[in-house]
Amino acid sequence: MTDNTVVMYTDGACRGNPGPGGWGVLMRYQGSEKKLKGYESETTNNRMELTAVIRGLAALKRKCHVELYT
């Protein structure tokens, strides 16, 4: 791992498939943490899993290495 590596943990789930669901992201970078989350009233578990990854990557502000755990 290099100094400019962001460690990103993502998850998504829903109740029923389709049904209400949510996604979350935890990012760690040089001792700091950032959390992101979201909700959809009608979705699928796969959509929430992918949304978490997309939103996490979109939140990055500059080019860096990413360790992604889903």
Tokens representing 51 are 């949304």
Domain boundaries, the chain: 5-69
CATH topology of domain 5-69: Nucleotidyltransferase; domain 5 (3.30.420)
Which SS3 state, helix, strand or coil, does residue 65 take? strand
| CA–CA separation, 4 and 51 (whole Å) | 24
pTM above 0.95, yes or no: no
Q: Is 10 exposed, middle or buried (0-12, 13-18, 19+ CB in 10 A)?
A: buried
Per-residue pLDDT of the chain (70 residues; tens, 9 = 90+): 568 899 999 999 999 999 999 999 999 999 999 999 999 999 999 999 999 999 999 999 999 999 999 9
